[in-house]
Amino acid sequence: MGLRIGLSSCSGGQCGTTQNPNPRKFKILESGFNERFTILKVKYEGCTNYEGVKILVYKGHILKELTNAAELDPHFCENHLSPIARFAPTEEGLTLALNLK
């Protein structure tokens, strides 16, 4: 199995509006920082895997921008404020996110 480097999860650079989870129906449960990244624990309404909870990592300290966003899409894409990494919403996932360099 090879890696497909440089490809976005958005088809042709366009993110769909009927995706799951719905990027407009979210609640930030927790937030934090490490030296270089903003880390969010987010719950998406209607998303069933991991009870809709995701750990998202964003480059820089941009918590204000993220908390003011009307949409928070967890998919990797060039067309919106996109996370650079996602982790399982577990203690191990949170530890990995916080230790990302």
DSSP string, 26-91: EEEEEEEE-SSEEEEEEEETT--GGGGEEEEEEESS-HHHHHT-S----S--TTS---SEEE-SSH
Sheet holding 37-44, edge to edge: 26-33, 37-44, 53-59, 85-87
Higher pLDDT pick, 28 / 50: 28
Mean pLDDT computed over every residue of the chain: 86
Per-residue pLDDT at 78: 86
Lowest mean pLDDT among 24-28, 48-52, 63-67: 48-52
Q: What percent of the chain has pLDDT over 90?
A: 71
- Is the pLDDT reported for residue 51 higher than 60? yes
pLDDT at 35: 93
Check: pTM over 0.75? Answer yes or no: yes
pLDDT of res. 18: 57
Whole-Å CA distances, 60 to 9, 13, 65, 69, 83? 21, 23, 11, 16, 11
Find out whether 8 and 73 touch, Cβ atoms under 8 Å. Answer: no
